[in-house]
Each structure stands twice: as C-alpha cells, then as structure tokens.
Structure 1
C-alpha cells in the first residue's frame, strides 16, 4: 500500500535517502568512551589532568545526550608514540574489535594531547572500520571524514601538537645549557662515580622555593674519589683499560654499581669492566667544571620499513657544538685539568691514526632488520648470560664472547674466547622436540598440560577488582568534595572535579556490567585444533620465521647451551591463554 508521500515507497525500494525536512528525534549521542593523556613535558599531576580533561569531555557531550561509560587514560606516555604502543590507547584499539564493548563513540578532552603529527590519519580508519564515531571538542561535534574542513583541522592539530612538543624541548634544553654556562647548575641525573649529591639550600627560583624544591650540588665521595685518582695515575703510568679493570677486581675494589647500588639497580655490580674505566677517564666533570649535553636523546624509526610504527628513543653522543661547559668551577675537582688533558691525549695516541680515521667515517644508523628465532632465549651454561644473535652470510649464530666478561672473574677464567651455536641446527632440534610433544604417545599428556595451564585466576576477576577499586575511589572523591562544599568552598571550583568523579564512577560501573568470564578450552577443543593443523613437524618446518619466533616467545621457550658437550637443554612454559597464529593456512 502506498503512503501519502509518493517518494517514500520508491526511496525505500531503491535504498535512497533524502534530507529530513525537520529535526530528527533520537536519544542523542549515546554511550561513549573517553580517552585522555597526561602530559610528560610539564610534569602535570595525573589526577588533576584527568579531572579537567574528563570535565571538558563531559561538558561537551552531555548537552548532546552523550554518556561516558568507560575511560582510557595514559600517564607517562609521550604523544609521539603511536596509539598501538601506548598502554591505554593500545587497549582502546583492541577494544574496538569487541562487539560487546558497550560504547559506540569516543570523546577526547584535548585533541593536541591525543594525536601527534600524522597519527590521526592512521587511527581514524580503524574507528571508521568498526563503526565508532569520534567526538572532538575543538571541532564542535562529531568528526566527519567527508568534511574537508574537519580533515584539514585535524591535520593542523597534529602539526600544532608536534610543533608544541618540539618548542618545549628546545626551550628546556636551551635554558638548562644557559644555567650550566652561567651558574654551573647541577642538572640532575646520577652523580658520577666519585661524587654524591647533597642539599645546597632553597632553590634560587622563588616560586620553586615556595613549592619546596631544593638546590642540589655535587660533593666529593672520598673513598670513590681516591679510586678515580688512582685510575688516572695508572693510565698515565702505562696500564690499559682492561689491565686497570683487572687490577681493581683483583684488589676487591667495589665497582660503581656495587658502591652505590641504590642508583644502579639495573646493573649486577659483579665487577669492573674496561668500558666503565673508559667512561670515567673520558668524563670531564672530574675537573670540577659542570658539563652539559655530552649525550642527547634522539628519535630513530622503530622499523624503517614501517614508518607508522613510530620512533624509539636512543642515547647518542652529541656533536661538539652542542656541548657546553661552565665558566667557573661548579664543584670540587678530583683531578686537575692538566692531568685530564694528558689522559685524553694519551687515549688518542694509543688509539692510533687508523682507528681514529675509521671512527670519523659516517655510519648508517639503520642496519638490516633481522628476525632472530631465539632472541633473548638462549643462555650460556658457563657464565649464565644470554647469548646474542650474530648474522653471517651463510647462517645465523648465537654467541657468547669472553671479552665482555668481568676481567679476572671466575667465569672469565673458564670461558672459551667465544661460544657459538648455529640457529638452524638448534631450530631443527627444537621443532622436532615440540612435534614429539604432539605425537600419539604424548598427545594426551600434552593436552592435559595445556588444559591445566588455564587453571589460573580468570583475568576478568582481576579486571573486576580494578573496576571496584575505581568505583570506591570515585565515591571517596565525591564524598570529599561534598564535605568541602558543605564547609563553604566555592561551588564553581569543585564542580569540574565532582563531575569528573561522577563520570569515572559511571564508566567503572558500565565496565563492570560489561565483563564476561574468559572462555576456556576443553580437551576436545584442543584436540580439534591440533587435528586441524596436521603433521606438527611439517607445520613448524614450513612456518615463516616471524611466526616461528612468535610461537617460541608464546611458549616462553628457554635454552641452556653447554659448549663442552654441545647439548642444549630446552624447556617451555605455555602461557595460560590461547594464542592464534597463522601457520601454513592453519589457525
């Protein structure tokens, strides 16, 4: 039957859509997730940052009928990191694939904190693919990909975000360099071996002094300073770097990481290395002058073949034009400028012209990308250290070199010059061993182990506890703000914080309601998956290197290599989750 509108039936048959003559009713924006990021440049308080960003987002979407039901907030993550490599942003992208996520749109507090450079053009297609809308306050509404003004505005936003970050970095570095040149200001970091950091009174900046900041300076550590002086004397006396390290180890002198373990938690403290001696002999701060800029942070591509993967931060030596020195002594000297200069000349003389020429040649910053199957998984049985990968023209090896051991240690005395194990031979044996676990004789026992690996705490239980903790914290904040309001505080000052706490509670409650227990596989399910793969040995031998490396990592494979018997002890610890991996078309 035809309706009163002659075009209504035809539009429905042809799938056409006409603009509505008047406003369209509905329930508004609906349920949204919130994403924010705490700035790492200005050291802003995460709670304060979350409160104002959540407040901005809430005030933006509530008049449109929007309700924030879940939040994702990154703390300590640089905006230059791609979303996939940020903690909460990466979790958000994974949640897009979940049809039961409980929200259909995303709102942000400030776009420049979320997207950097060209990141928006790389993330928006993912939201569009899963039907998730983006609501951005600086656009005044929902992002429309067909609106060229919106597209241009987000491109400019990314550029402004990048420019802001770079300007902050330049200003901070320039200011710190100026403070070193004029005042010899100590700029933080670990004190060099031979010095300790002591309090020198209130901070010279009145505002920072009011906030409780103190001025720090370097003072001499008498015990360690005597060792530093002796190292300079030994080197001028003709000893080499390794000889000095071995002498100190034999005499039982604690190395820097053993002398001050509280600031060297990342090191073993098992003895002096020649590289440690070299670093001390080349550090000009022992002359009593403040030095700034010897090392700098540089950003290098994580994967040159995938620019979208972003950059990683590396420490590199700065060019001499970037290094500054204080005009006057800034702290007590351990060695004189004359002694330090003589040592530097001696280092260059021993290095030789050929080595100096090679060091001055330009080097490529990017080497060939290598997928090592046993990255970080092989240990040398003699010294207990992890063996490092070494690619050769005909094969890939893993090696453990004695030259990097602590000179004079027991491990170095009984260690061959270099221990090698070939990757393809080891991989062949490991694949054969793994395939044997799925042979008819061992299949039932292997399946039982895999089923038992799931008998751990359901991840949703831990997530539930987190949600309940968030609810309790939000309620405590609401009660605190309510008491402050009753005590006479300005309501306008507290409104934003109270709204943020209410939104946080709503988001946690929504997340709690959306939780579903993790699916567990039965023995029959695992048997079916194994049958679908077919001959396990053939599957492993034909697998791609990257897939095989991922499989070894998932199994938490560990190898202990005995060089005398040329035997490798292999063990695996299956993770309590199911990992899907494409191998020869299987899953």
Structure 2
C-alpha cells in the first residue's frame, strides 16, 4: 500500500512567507518527499490545504483525508507535524485519533513515526493534539487582544479598505491607516448629497451612477446594496466598528450552524484617518434611512403619506393603512390593536386635517427648493465633469496610439497584417470612447436644462403646503412630513352618522420637530 502526503499552511507559515522565507507548502512538500525517499515510502497522493479553518468542517482536504484513512486506503500519512492534522475542539481531536487508531494507519513526521497499534505512541499522539489545541487558543487570544488594542487606539484593522480609501502602513508605527482616494471620495460625497438633498433612494442613486458609467468598487455595475452599505458605513465620517457581525453558533438538527447577524450597538471608535463627509451629515443619513421606506418594486411602493407618523392616542400603537375594497370606498387608517376602541377614518380625510393643522401652525414656514436643486446639480455635475475628463484623456491617448501604429507601419516594424489588427482594435476603442463621451455630455446638458426649467417653474421660495400638494410621489410627501413632525396622536370616539362620512369628527395632537417661532 502507498502513503498519502497532507500539507497545510498555518498562521506562522504566513508570517514566515511575509519575512521572505519562501512558499511554505513547496518547502514542506520537498522535505516530505526527501523523507519518503529516505524511508522508501511510495507516495500515492498529495493533498494541499489552503483554507484557514479552526474546525475539520472548514477544511475539505482534511475531510477527504479522514474519509480515506477510515476506509483503509493508505498505509500511512506524511505530515510536517501532528498539529497540522487537527487544532479543533475535543470532538475534532477525537475524530482524528479514532480514524487513525481503528484503521491502523501510521502518522509519519520528520521527527517521529506514530504507530496507533503502540499504546505509548497513541498516548503521545493524543497528548500532542491536546497541546496543539491549547497552543492555538493561546495564540488566538493574543492576536485578538492585539487587534482590540489596535482598534481602540484608532488603527484600521479590517482586511480591505472601503471604497474611497486605500489602506496604508504607518511609517513610524506598526498599525495601518486609511488614505483618501480623491476620485472615489467625490463619488462618495455625491452619493451622500443625492440621498440627503435630492430625496434620492438607493435604487435611484444606483441608476444615476450606472448612467454616468462610473465604475463600482467591484468594477462592475452599481447595486442598491452597495450604495446602502456606503451610506451606512461610519468610516466615511471618521469612525470604525468592531464586531458588527460577530459569529454566533447554534445547534440545529444536531449540527453546528454559524450565522453573522448585524449588531447595531457594536463598539465604535474614532479612527486615525481623515473623514470624507461630516459627522452631522452621516447622522442625518442614518435618521433618513430609519424613517424612510425603501420599496423594492412598484407593487410594494409606499401608498400612505402618513406612514410612521400617526399613533393611536388610546394604546400608543402605530396606525396602519387598510386598502379600499367593496365595503370601504376609501383607504382608511386604523389601529391594528383588536382590543382598542379607537375608530378608523378615511386616509385622505386625516391627511387633509394634518395639512390644515400644519398650515395653521406654521403658515410662514417655507422651503427653499433652489438650494436643494443646486445641491443635487452640484453633486452630479462634479461627478459628470470628472467622468468627462477621464474619458476625454482615454480618447486622446487612443488617438495617439493609432498615430503611433501608422508610424510603426511606415518604419517597417509592423507588418500589414499586424497593423490592420492593431488599427481595428484601436478604432473600436476610439469609437466606444467617443460614444461614451457624447452620452456624458448629453447628460450634463440635460441636467443644466432641467435646473433652468425648475427655476422657471418654482419661485425662489414657496410655501410648504403648496409644495406638498404639487408633489405626487407618496414617498417624498412622507419624507417632507417627517422632516417637520416627530409624530401625531389620533383619537376618534364616535362613528360618523350616515351621510356624514366626510366629517372630520376626530382629534389630532401634533408633536412637531420645528420650534413654533419658525
């Protein structure tokens, strides 16, 4: 029977590679081959484990090795150290020990050969597995303590830098920090501006960035989830999080299942890196995200402008919208608490009374729409101009490459066949860049025209109620109300009499966000 060679890279091996000591698995393979040749052991297969995992379940090559060992396929297994086989918990160590013991498979290392039939070798093997686990836990605790200390000291400890930054090693100290990438930082700023000033949602921002042919962090098209992650990452205002998605283990149907739920209350500290956006703007975005519904498709789009605002004055439950049907000519707002005696009312009637109350309360309060439009236009225009500049540079570079190809043909360096192939490639690139440049310029002109049109339609300052009635988008109406109202309490004790369904015989108690002096 032949022998199996099992190779696994440890954390110490990775540190050694970083010091320039060569590729670990290649060195170990060479040493074990020399050992096998010296002992005249035929090698039937070589399994290399490149996955870093604490348990056997995370190491597919180890699982295959144990399966073949239990089936008695190998006379022995060659490894650099016993510790390479298992560093998991007691259950994993027992699995490894039993597999080699009951199949009578030897374990051969450069220092010792373990024969499971020998009781002293068996005890020594099990002791080595135990010490290996203890060493692993000690090393892991030391590493985690170091990471936590570095995190709380402001060093950036995550593996990769978020979009808009690059990870750099601090010259004078051991830690890493982040450095802003100006071109990407402009995109991040644009995303925050569009979200906070232009009432854009994640899907609309996604579409706008894709229309402008701006590459995403992955280099592909933007997705709404990527935009949402950028809007929710405190790194952009100078903070970093610790253990936001901590691993939680559960036993389900006899198996250990791992999950990584989000923890909103995870630790957050100030980082040693510059912020791209102000902390106040980041907090505003989180408030908007918490209060603003984000429909995924038209079927689930928001239909209640008072969503998240109206509460039952009796039991404190948030009122919900009930759609109209054969019995209800209009959609109504009702208390979902079945034990509550608060009576429902038509949604349109409650909305009208809310507007009437707001008009009475702050008739002079006005919204400056030109400022919001200029914020959106400025943010988009900045990104557009950068994109146009970059595409124009690529276009000019392609033209120079095309001219150089003609020169190389005239000098005899390019053959006609090579020249034609090169010219076709460059001409195609040139045409694609030209179309993209024209598209971006058309988008720039469209935004400028739309800005002028809006200024012609709206005066520089218009009353809140008038603007609200002009808006048809329920989502924006809801957002406008949430900007001036914290919540409203609703109470109705008597049902409308027949023929008086349009009578507003209910009371509304307002809890505004703005001081009354406004």
TM tier relative to shorter chain? 0.3 to 0.5
Determine which structure has greater relative contact order: mean sequence separation of CA pairs < 8 Å that are 6+ residues apart, divided by chain length. 1
- Structure having the higher Rg: 2
TM-score (normalised: structure 1): 0.40
